[in-house]
Amino acid sequence: MDKLQVVGGKRLEGEIVISGAKNAALPILCAGLLTSGDLELSNVPRLHDVKTILKLLAQTGLAVSQDDEKLTLNGSAITTLEAPYELVKTMRASILVLGPLLARFGEAKVSLPGGCAIGSRPVDQHIKGLQALGAEITIEGGYIYAKCKKLKGARIRTDMITVTGTENLLMAATLADGETILENAAREPEVTDLANLLVAMGAKIEGIGTDRLVIQGVAELHGAKHAVISDRIEAATFLCAVAATGGDILLKNTRTDYFDVALDKLREIGLVMTMGPASIRAQMGGRPKPVSFRTTEYPGFPTDMQAQFMAVDTIASGSSRITETIFENRFMHVQEMNRLGASIQTEGNTAHVKGVDRLVGAPVMATDLRASASLVIAAMAAQGTTIIDRIYHLDRGYDRMEVKLSAVGADIVRIK
């Protein structure tokens, strides 16, 4: 099990290239199941989760050819309509093969994803929506069995806003008979990126970017070329890093128009940012100011940035309150940060952070993807050496983070 060794106290200076968005790449790769044509994808991030979904897709018979960050998928020879437990248990996003397999082949057998560290994360909305489209669904032995000769358009309103729920239902609706209306749809930029790809494949979708998607089903979808949008969560993670350590970094290959709330919070912290067409220069001198926030669905403060901002708050010049409204257990990083000398009290889904003058390095353990990133940030701001264990969590969602950070001056090495 790999570990990261971080010696804190180094300012960050230099350039970081942001990779493609994990949470756009995963549904977009599953869209390859919807067509017998070629899907030519670029800017696909090199992540463990991407490797996992490609393994799963290859098992169905989808052809995958990779040339560095360019991927070509072809779904003309799909033979197995199944997503087995041993793969699904390692990555919940595998549920995203359910909608496409059902829509194109009328059948799918997908393992129920287990929960994960941050919450139970049921998929009842995915199932409810597919049933509304006419699917017969039974759950047996930990598997979802879905059958339907031809999905039929329907009006669906999910009980809560669900990102992958919206994506599953959107992909299924593109090949259903007639009109589907998805209300209470998620509006995350990664959902929009998937919708744009589906339109490029010949789907008919109105209301992209809003919470009401109207889809006219078509008989089939053709291939397309698409560049995955850059990862706003990765970009925000590095902006939090420089806010915590001080320095002057230039993020390249990023967008500046899809995380305004986070950028406003970073300005409140004291980060000075200069925007280019696809870049952000971020300069930080002095101690971070405390920021309070509550996570909500897009366009509100993203839950996937909560832990990283908390890391900055732990050394801020005052107190702050952080409320997590999306997941029921997304404070696993709190105890680990307190081991570094932070002063955080949790009360239900609210964390009260009292900024301390300094953190001190110690051995800590990563518990989930964004928590691991927050521990890297805290460790870089701490005095002395921190060893972060179980960093396979980090590798799921960050493309060689320690390489990118070392290149801008961080003292961070991977220990096998």
Query: Would you name the residues annotated as active-site residues?
Result: 116
Binding mask 350-379 for ligand EPZ (x = CB under 6 A): -------------------xx---------
- The continuous run of DSSP H or E covering 40 comes out as strand 38-42
Q: How many CB atoms lie within 10 A of CB 159?
A: 10
Contact 255, 278 (CB under 8 A): yes
**DSSP state at residue 178:** S
Measured from the CB atom, the residue of 190 and 313 that comes closer to ligand EPZ is: 190
Binding mask 310-339 for ligand EPZ (x = CB under 6 A): ----------------xx------------
Asked if residue 299 has a cis previous peptide bond (ω within 30° of 0), the answer is: yes
Q: Which of 4, 18, 23, 242 binds ligand EPZ (CB under 6 A)?
A: 23
The answer to the question of residue 125 lying near ligand EPZ (CB under 6 A) is yes
Residues in binding contact with ligand EPZ, number by CB under 6 A: 24
For the four alpha carbons of 299, 162, 54 and 209, in that order, the dihedral sign comes to: negative
The answer to the question of residue 232 lying near ligand EPZ (CB under 6 A) is no
Pairwise CA distance, residues 267 & 17, whole Å: 21
Q: Per CB under 6 A, which region of 120-128, 136-144, 315-323, 354-362 contacts ligand EPZ?
A: 120-128
Pairwise CA distance, residues 82 & 105, whole Å: 11
Q: Classify strands 350-354 and 319-323 as parallel, antiparallel or unpaired.
A: antiparallel
The answer to the question of residue 187 lying near ligand EPZ (CB under 6 A) is no
Interactions with ligand EPZ, residue window 76-105 (CB under 6 A): 92-93
Q: Which of 35, 74, 162, 306 binds ligand EPZ (CB under 6 A)?
A: 162
What Cα–Cα distance (Å) separates residue 285 from each residue in 15, 288, 341, 348?
18, 8, 22, 34
Q: Which of 10, 104, 126, 232 binds ligand EPZ (CB under 6 A)?
A: 126
Closest approach of ligand EPZ to the CB of residue 218, in Å: 25
Measured from the CB atom, the residue of 18 and 93 that comes closer to ligand EPZ is: 93
Interactions with ligand EPZ, residue window 271-310 (CB under 6 A): 303-304
| Edge-to-edge order in the sheet of strand 12-17 | 12-17, 247-252, 279-284, 272-275
Interface with ligand EPZ (CB under 6 A): 22-23, 26, 92-93, 119, 121-126, 160, 162-165, 303-304, 326-327, 369-370, 397
